[in-house]
Amino acid sequence: MSTTLKAYAVRLFPQVAALAVILLMVSIAFPGFFKLEMQNGRLYGSLIDILNRGAPVALLAIGMTVVIATKGIDLSVGAVMAICGAVAAAAITSGHSLAMTLLITLGTGILCGLWNGILVAVLDIQPIIATLVLMVAGRGIAQLITEGAILTFNDAGLIFIGSGALFGLPMPVVIWLAFGLLVALLVRRTALGMLIEALGVNRRASMLSGVSTGVLLIAAYVLSGLCAALAGIIAAADIRGADANNAGLWLELDAILAVVVGGTSLLGGRFSIAASLIGALIIQSVNTGILLSGFPPEFNLIIKAAIIVLILVIQSPRAQSAFVFLSRARAPVKKTAGEAK
């Protein structure tokens, strides 16, 4: 057990270190950053904001990690968020109960995932093209549902999902933590994770070894769709309305970035959901840090880009081998020492 723990620690070290450095930097720019207090029965503070605002990207990153591990990519998640937010708002305003609304919405997300999965697994279309279809069409579908306007609702139950609190934590945080744990356990405590990695490394070989790659691939995209549905519900509940134009806009890129920052290769194979979640937190810490620091908005994207580039450079295999090379004072470097995984 201690060896697996150690393996986890080694695997997650670069991400945790990057997150710690960023949090430290923000706290220098903004001294009250680590302050936490209880207010109205819930924790309140900038750290909680990061966990809370990072919820959509964290949820998307869970599904995206699995999809990327299969050597795929899901560009449609932002649009699926918009669709599901619109469906949730439409369902609740047309008088369905909360349970029914959630069921319909999650079902919609699964359906979107199924569509992507079938395009990729059955029709063998390249994932980037297959999911591009829904990325482009999805926002249109969402606009059809909301008829171009922001569809607002006042249902206390649905609003609770966006801004309520459970165990002192905002609901979105509880949802992504629980869902992340669930998926991580599901793939790591069963053979699923290994099968997904095998499929990502070599689909043909794993098929010939008896893995039902088709079902597995479809399942990965369905999971991604489900994650997007959850993120869509949270985004809509947060502002008490479905904004088809802006909900989840460009979040697919943030989700992919979270996975990459988490150290999972876009070429498929080995993956870590925990690392992707930390990646999502890194991105959100940068966003929140910029807002707190009071820089003019013209600098937002430049600062964000500079920090991300820095993290990626530090994590790159070359930089790591250089680091090992320097730290061993010119001792011969083992070839495997530099592998990021």
In the complex, the residues that contact another protein under the rule CB under 8 A are 30, 32, 39-40, 44-46, 49, 53, 143, 147-150, 152, 163, 235, 238-241, 243, 245-247, 287-288, 291-292, 294, 296-298, 300
Q: CB of 239: closest distance to another protein in angstroms?
A: 4
Q: CB of 162: closest distance to another protein in angstroms?
A: 9
- Contact criterion met (CB below 8 Å) for 67 and 219: no
C-alpha 81/C-alpha 255 separation (Å) is: 12
CB nearer to another protein: pick between 209 and 246: 246
Q: CB of 38: closest distance to another protein in angstroms?
A: 12
Q: CB of 330: closest distance to another protein in angstroms?
A: 47
Structure token pair of residue 311: 């993290």
| 275 Cβ contact partners less than 8 Å away, ≥ 6 residues apart | 11, 12, 15, 262, 263, 264
CB nearer to another protein: pick between 147 and 209: 147
CB nearer to another protein: pick between 4 and 40: 40
C-alpha 338/C-alpha 341 separation (Å) is: 9
- Contact criterion met (CB below 8 Å) for 33 and 26: yes
CB nearer to another protein: pick between 52 and 70: 52
Q: Helices marked H in the chain — which ranges? A: 2-29, 46-53, 55-69, 77-93, 98-117, 127-146, 156-163, 171-188, 192-201, 203-208, 213-239, 251-261, 273-293, 300-315, 317-327
Q: CB of 34: closest distance to another protein in angstroms?
A: 11
Q: CB of 166: closest distance to another protein in angstroms?
A: 15
Q: CB of 238: closest distance to another protein in angstroms?
A: 7
Residue 283, judged by CB atoms within 10 A of its CB (0-12, 13-18, 19+), counts as buried
CB nearer to another protein: pick between 69 and 235: 235
CB nearer to another protein: pick between 186 and 292: 292
C-alpha 75/C-alpha 131 separation (Å) is: 5
Of 108, 59, 86, 71, nearest to 231 by C-alpha is: 59
CB nearer to another protein: pick between 44 and 325: 44
